[in-house]
Amino acid sequence: MRDSNHLRPVTPPRNASESRVLAFNRPPSRTPLRENRASAMVFEDPVSRTLKSELDRLAPSDASLLLIGETGTGKEQVARYVHEQSKRRNGPFVAVNCGALPETLVEAELFGYEKGAFTGALKAQVGWFEAANRGTLLLDEVGDLAPHLQVKLLRVLQEREVVRLGARNPVDVDVRIIASTNVDLEAAIVGREFRQDLYYRLAVASVVLPPLRHRIGDISVLADHFLAIYRERVGRPELTLAEAARAILGAHSWPGNIRELENVIHNAVLLAKGPVIQASELRLPRATNAASPSWTDEYRQLIERLIAAEEPNLFARITEQLVRTAFEWSGRNQVRAAQRLCLTRNSLRTELARLGIIPGRGTRKPISSKDSEGPN
């Protein structure tokens, strides 16, 4: 999620299709970053806390950093976080999407140009490297760079200077490079689509960003973050998420990662009929049987990570979450929840009573209580 208070175009875009290249500058005053998030980036899940520790160790260095992750995993936000934690935090943060620039303009945009360097160059213009001087430059989707530009980028990294188009004299630049990619650069090297020497320059340190399906502890926090943003924008401050809706969000595999979650919450805010967003109002595809093998693998990987992290009371906590989620998903109907879990109703009632969700046997409770809902 991009905070509009933190970004502006470095130069006016020539047209709307070129406006995706943005620079992030610190506003005159700002509140400190919260301990567990930077914009839409959160560190609630154990996997995310491990990632944060790794980023905190790498941030003080000026070494080039390569971020590897699926589309929508928040690579730009991670780069911003590293910048904010570095000694360059008072300098500019410039983000360039290498795949969004027209191929004929990439060189001019990256390295700048002099007046008269080509048709239409009516005045000299600094490139993105010079715009990021004394700060951080994010080269997003660096794997999309053409081979001849990879050669020029390698020289900039080696010499710490750029030569504008149409110029003879180099310009010194003091920039930390963070590159990101959602493709396998090592495979691209084998296929001769990416230079091996450039890869080694960019990947002095590398970090793999886990997809959202491996960070399920972050999902609810992120959902609340996006909910707060979009309910304010549409003037519906009363909106909240039903527990059953949260359960569905937690169970989804999120192939589109954080970007997909933001889209789902935005859509739900626009279409919600009442003050509480119900599970039925979330625009999510239904799970299919074909997804079962990958779901099993994901579940196993999650359990392995929790065991490795030495999470306390793991069996009890997983069992509790399973029972609570099925009960809420089923509209607090005991028969349907028991069927979902392949349990008898008595077994489910025992678990619900143990968790304090319903009264135990022999305990009297007012008939009006919601916990008594469901067929008798």
Distances (CA, A) of 345 to 218, 350, 351, 352, 358: 32, 9, 10, 10, 13
| CATH class given for the domain over 312-376 | mainly alpha
- Identify the H or E element spanning 135: strand 135-140
Residues 323 and 354: their CA atoms lie apart, in Å, by 11
First-to-last CA distance in the chain? 47
Q: Tell the CATH topology of 211-290.
A: Helicase, Ruva Protein; domain 3 (1.10.8)
Domain borders along the chain are: 4-210, 211-290, 312-376
Residues 372 and 376: their CA atoms lie apart, in Å, by 9
Span 160-182, pLDDT tens digits: 999 888 888 999 999 999 999 98
Residue-level length of the chain:
376
Counting Cβ atoms within 10 Å, is residue 224 exposed (0-12), middle (13-18) or buried (19+)? middle
Residues 20 and 100: their CA atoms lie apart, in Å, by 7
Give CA angle at 340 (336, 345), nearest 5°.
55
Give CA angle at 75 (71, 81), nearest 5°.
160
Q: Where are the alpha helices (DSSP H) in 168-284?
A: 185-190, 196-202, 216-233, 243-251, 257-271
Span 312-340, pLDDT tens digits: 888 888 888 888 888 877 778 887 788 77
Q: Tell the CATH topology of 4-210.
A: Rossmann fold (3.40.50)
Verdict on whether the full-model pTM lies above 0.85: no
- Give the DSSP per-residue string, 56-115: HHHTTS-S-EEEE--TTS-HHHHHHHHHHTSTTTTS-EEEEETTTS-TTTHHHHHH-B-T
Tell me the pLDDT of the chain (376 aa) as tens digits. 333 333 333 333 343 333 333 333 344 333 333 333 334 578 888 888 899 999 999 999 999 999 999 999 999 999 999 999 999 999 999 999 988 877 778 888 888 888 888 888 788 888 999 999 999 999 999 998 888 889 989 999 999 999 888 888 999 999 999 999 988 888 889 888 899 999 999 999 999 999 999 898 899 999 999 999 999 999 999 999 999 999 999 989 999 999 999 999 999 999 999 999 999 999 987 543 334 445 566 666 677 667 767 778 888 888 888 888 888 777 788 877 887 788 888 888 888 888 888 887 655 444 444 444 444 4
Span 197-237, pLDDT tens digits: 999 999 999 999 999 998 988 999 999 999 999 999 999 99
CA count, 13 A, side-chain hemisphere, 7:
17
